[in-house]
Amino acid sequence: MKGIQRYVNVTEIVRPIGHLLAFSVGSAALMSAIVIVLALILDRTVVGADLMDRYNVSLYTYTMINLPQVVIDGLTIGFVYAAIALGYTMVYGVLEFINFAHSEIFAVGAFVGVELLIALDATGVLAGATLGMAYAYLIMALLAGMLAAGGLAMAVERVAYRPLRGASRLVPLISAIGVSFLLQDLIRLVESLTTGQFNRIMPTFGNFDQRIILGKLNMGASNITLGISIKSIIVIAAAVLMLVALNYLVNATRIGKAMRAVAQDRGTASLMGINVNRIISITFLVGGLLGGAAGVLFALKFTRIDPFVGFFPGLKAFTAAVLGGIGNLTGALLGGLVLGMLETFAGSFMGVFTMGAAGSEYKDIFAFSILILVLIFRPQGLMGKHVGQKA
């Protein structure tokens, strides 16, 4: 055990997992408590009466029946956001720069992975694959998406950001917005030239679409099955793996140490013999790898992708990063989970609680409202330290 510990920093593996567990349980419990209290209050009002009239179920029962499934869905989506948010937060931590194009790097990863699987599907291997092979193919797609996205992120940094280093803050940001728009249409161009269409569907294979039934709930006259699909489990497991690996890279390796040094003071870091350009490149590479993996996972979970698929998840992940405290890896995780939970809860319960006046169509606004509130009242985020603006 001592021998291993000399080479592997065990605490840096265990710590993020502990955080993850705490955050997941904490946010789920908090949100559930809020919703249950709201349900109990509203049950006495016209909202509860209305629901009773229409479906013959009290608001409290309705909420309790839906709650476990909502928590599971919220966790899944939260982990997707957390995985994307890591890319933003890493780049921001090192460069103090919002990589607006990260959402498109995510989309490129998704497209490469899905195209690979579609190509495999066309040869017929996927349909007849054994369970083991199906997972192997999925991992292959993940790796392909990661490599493509990582390479692209590095290339974008070299071409569009590096020449602008040292200019005022808004200059690279505008360039990043340009890259984001350019990439959206480039994906569309390549897809329509090669395949003739730009909406792609993830092929179904393996056992990813099956649901594991966790239990049946009986509540009054209705009963509901509680389950989680295998692909959600894969998404969660992969995201946890990514978080742990990234945390390890940043906190327990030489490259990570160099990254932190560059983040603190670029000039001094270069005096200490750190190749700043190389470290920034690596930062973008790692951010891209994570983004690409998140893209393939997103495609696995939501099946359908198009060139603009990155925009909303990207924005929400950015919100998550800000919510947790941008530049802080653990914060990105917390932000992603909280945002995923909030959004899923809002999407599932807002419609019922407001008697259909405002339903899940407002869930995108929800993320923005949180972003705005956080920036006004706690700009450093939930876990961030307050730092002055660097000159």
Identify residues 57-96 at the interface with another protein (CB under 8 A): none
Asked if 273 and 254 count as a contact pair (C-beta separation under 8 A), the reply is no
Closer residue to another protein (CB): 92 or 208: 92
Chain centroid to CA 332 = 9
- Judged by CB under 8 A, the residue of 4, 131, 193, 387 near another protein is 193
Size of the site for another protein (CB under 8 A): 51
Q: Is 314 helix (H, G, I), strand (E, B) or coil?
A: helix
Closer residue to another protein (CB): 36 or 182: 182
Asked if 202 and 300 count as a contact pair (C-beta separation under 8 A), the reply is yes
Asked if 108 and 295 count as a contact pair (C-beta separation under 8 A), the reply is yes
CB of 80 to another protein, least distance (A): 19
Angle made by CA atoms 233, 253, 382, in degrees to the nearest 5: 60
CB of 372 to another protein, least distance (A): 6
Establish if 46 lies at the interface with another protein (CB under 8 A): no
Establish if 198 lies at the interface with another protein (CB under 8 A): yes
CA torsion sign for 247, 238, 83, 19 is negative
Asked if 277 and 89 count as a contact pair (C-beta separation under 8 A), the reply is no
Pattern 326-345, binding to another protein, x per CB under 8 A?
--------------------
Identify residues 310-329 at the interface with another protein (CB under 8 A): 311, 315, 318, 322
Pattern 357-386, binding to another protein, x per CB under 8 A?
xx--xx-xx-xxx-xx--xx--x-------
The neighbouring-strand residues paired with 304 are: 201
Asked if 362 and 312 count as a contact pair (C-beta separation under 8 A), the reply is no
- Judged by CB under 8 A, the residue of 55, 119, 122, 181 near another protein is 181
Asked if 270 and 147 count as a contact pair (C-beta separation under 8 A), the reply is no
Residue type at position 201:
I
Residue type at position 132:
G
Identify residues 137-176 at the interface with another protein (CB under 8 A): 160, 163-164, 166-167, 169-175
Joined together, the tokens standing for residue 76 give 């899944």
Establish if 98 lies at the interface with another protein (CB under 8 A): yes
- Judged by CB under 8 A, the residue of 42, 86, 183, 243 near another protein is 183
Angle made by CA atoms 112, 234, 28, in degrees to the nearest 5: 120
Angle made by CA atoms 95, 265, 90, in degrees to the nearest 5: 30
* Beta-strand pair 211-219/304-305: unpaired
Q: What would you measure as the largest C-alpha separation in the chain, in angstroms?
A: 73
Establish if 45 lies at the interface with another protein (CB under 8 A): no
Closer residue to another protein (CB): 32 or 180: 180
- Judged by CB under 8 A, the residue of 18, 22, 136, 185 near another protein is 185
CB of 296 to another protein, least distance (A): 23
Establish if 182 lies at the interface with another protein (CB under 8 A): yes
CB of 320 to another protein, least distance (A): 12
* Beta-carbon contacts of residue 166 (< 8 Å; ≥ 6 apart): none
Residues in the chain: 391
Closer residue to another protein (CB): 35 or 156: 156
Cα Rg of the chain, angstroms? 22
- Judged by CB under 8 A, the residue of 197, 207, 264, 268 near another protein is 197
Establish if 356 lies at the interface with another protein (CB under 8 A): yes
Joined together, the tokens standing for residue 352 give 């019922």
Closer residue to another protein (CB): 36 or 186: 186
Establish if 189 lies at the interface with another protein (CB under 8 A): yes
The residues of the shown chain that bind another protein, judged by CB under 8 A, are 97-98, 160, 163-164, 166-167, 169-175, 177-186, 188-189, 192-193, 196-198, 311, 315, 318, 322, 356-358, 361-362, 364-365, 367-369, 371-372, 375-376, 379, 389
